[in-house]
Amino acid sequence: MIYIHIPFCKQKCSYCNFHFSTSLNFKDEMLSAMKKEIFLRKDELQNKNLNSLYFGGGTPSILSSDEIKSLIDEVLKYFTFDSDIEITLEANPDDLDKNFLKGISDSPINRLSIGTQSFFEEDLILMNRAHSASEAESSIKRAQDFGLENISIDLIYGSPTSSMEIWKENLNKTIALEVPHISSYALTVEPKTALEKWIENGKVNSPKEAEQNREFFYMKDFLKDHGFDHYEISNFGKPNFHSKHNSAYWKSCKYLGIGPSAHSYNGNEIRSWNVANNQQYIKKLSFNTLPKETEILSQKDQFNEMIMIGLRTRWGVDLSALKEKFNDEILEHFQNESRLKLEERILIMEDNHLKIPDKHWFMADGIASDLFIV
């Protein structure tokens, strides 16, 4: 699996702390550097037959369809595509005009992940999104008209500009648009974002946890009633529309991350990440140097990661895999920490998998961190 991070955005959303630049001045140099990185790292994946290629960001749809195709062509110089490969492009609604969609529909891209976030103007203004409420809706219809059926949309709940009524309407519109996959996150206030500043200055109210909780549970039941499988805490898919890219992350598969700030994982104990700086990334690659740092994950790190990822999914933590991978000391810690939670039914055991029952799923991160080795 390969992930390609496109580090450019039109404007800065108020809640976002990802790596990107709003200047496109060095776009061509960036694309050349990424192609060089693909070449230099082609042998890090022994399996040359890919089942997932993912363009994330930033905003990949800020590139032209020809620029995106040229990156795909570069990947195809060193890899082949599985017959049912999933090639996802993250796209913002304001970029999905007819020209762009025509280019994309003529490419191997077969899945769009659209940053819709909300169908309501007030929410979008607070989030400083570059698109309007009407574009949120029309972009999805337009993509479907171009034959792109495998669409995921991102939705954000718990915004201070929203309410249960608005949230219900967002979900109703989503169902009416017949998208087969939804990724949905609570609005969180990240450090050093505009949203944090506005809340500190009293310009905007803080998101309310109780309200977010209510909206999450409403969504969970509502989407289940409409045929969606809630397969990860933030992800819902119709049968056969689970994201291969996300699933590979959760199953700790090997992946190669290309582009500034992209992470890679060898499927075992080595993780690396590229420098989160566009200029440094370009410069290092111009000298044929990889702009990455590497760390060897300790047993403790691997255990904590396996617990965190597993408890966020419907499948839970596979105890056989846990026993195979970790020493007696870690397994004893795990048994001691999970015992009380099992008695209190905050955790349950099913088919040798440790899971969080539905009603406590909203607290998955907190429950997982109670089991961590610190």
Q: Give 192 or 239: the residue with its C-beta nearer to ligand SF4.
A: 192
- Of 51-59, 139-147, 299-307, 325-333, the window that binds ligand SF4 (rule: CB under 6 A) is 51-59
Closest CA to 86 of 204, 237, 198: 237
DSSP 127: T
Alpha carbons 14 and 193: distance in angstroms, whole number: 6
- Of 6-14, 202-210, 241-249, 294-302, the window that binds ligand SF4 (rule: CB under 6 A) is 6-14
DSSP 191: T
Q: Give 12 or 168: the residue with its C-beta nearer to ligand SF4.
A: 12
User: How far is C-alpha 88 from the chain's CA centre?
Assistant: 11
By the 8 A CB rule, do 285 and 350 touch?
A: no
Which one of 36, 57, 79, 249 is in contact with ligand SF4 (CB under 6 A)?
A: 57
- Of 5-13, 71-79, 260-268, 317-325, the window that binds ligand SF4 (rule: CB under 6 A) is 5-13
By the 8 A CB rule, do 33 and 64 touch?
A: no
User: How far is C-alpha 106 from the chain's CA centre?
Assistant: 25
- Of 52-60, 196-204, 231-239, 336-344, the window that binds ligand SF4 (rule: CB under 6 A) is 52-60
Q: Give 40 or 194: the residue with its C-beta nearer to ligand SF4.
A: 194
By the 8 A CB rule, do 261 and 21 touch?
A: no
Dihedral sign (CA 186, 368, 190, 195): positive
Alpha carbons 226 and 57: distance in angstroms, whole number: 30
Q: Give 54 or 228: the residue with its C-beta nearer to ligand SF4.
A: 54
By the 8 A CB rule, do 37 and 68 touch?
A: no
Minimum CB distance to ligand SF4, residue 153 (Å) = 13
SS3 state of residue 128 = coil
Single-letter residue type at 155: L
Minimum CB distance to ligand SF4, residue 59 (Å) = 5
- Of 44-52, 55-63, 257-265, 304-312, the window that binds ligand SF4 (rule: CB under 6 A) is 55-63
Start-to-end CA span in the chain (Å): 31
Q: How far is CA 227 from CA 94, 230, 308, in A?
A: 29, 10, 27
Minimum CB distance to ligand SF4, residue 65 (Å) = 18
Q: Give 9 or 124: the residue with its C-beta nearer to ligand SF4.
A: 9
Q: Give 22 or 298: the residue with its C-beta nearer to ligand SF4.
A: 22
Minimum CB distance to ligand SF4, residue 90 (Å) = 8
59 near ligand SF4, rule: CB under 6 A = yes
- 243 Cβ partners below 8 Å, 6+ apart? 86, 88, 111, 152, 181, 235, 237
Q: Give 22 or 163: the residue with its C-beta nearer to ligand SF4.
A: 22
Minimum CB distance to ligand SF4, residue 332 (Å) = 42
User: How far is C-alpha 331 from the chain's CA centre?
Assistant: 30
DSSP 208: P
Per DSSP, helices labelled H in 107-163 are: 121-126, 133-145
Restricted to residues 7-36, the positions that interact with ligand SF4 (CB under 6 A) are 9, 12-13, 16, 18, 20
Binding mask 111-140 for ligand SF4 (x = CB under 6 A): ----x-------------------------
Binding mask 69-108 for ligand SF4 (x = CB under 6 A): -----------------------x----------------
Minimum CB distance to ligand SF4, residue 16 (Å) = 3
Q: Give 41 or 111: the residue with its C-beta nearer to ligand SF4.
A: 111
Q: Give 36 or 131: the residue with its C-beta nearer to ligand SF4.
A: 131
By the 8 A CB rule, do 28 and 59 touch?
A: no
Q: How far is CA 271 from CA 236, 292, 294, in A?
A: 28, 10, 6
Which one of 31, 58, 282, 364 is in contact with ligand SF4 (CB under 6 A)?
A: 58
Q: Give 154 or 370: the residue with its C-beta nearer to ligand SF4.
A: 154
The half-sphere exposure of 44 on its side-chain side, counting CA atoms within 13 A, is 20
Query: Where on the chain is the footprint of ligand SF4 (CB under 6 A)?
Result: 9, 12-13, 16, 18, 20, 57-59, 92, 115
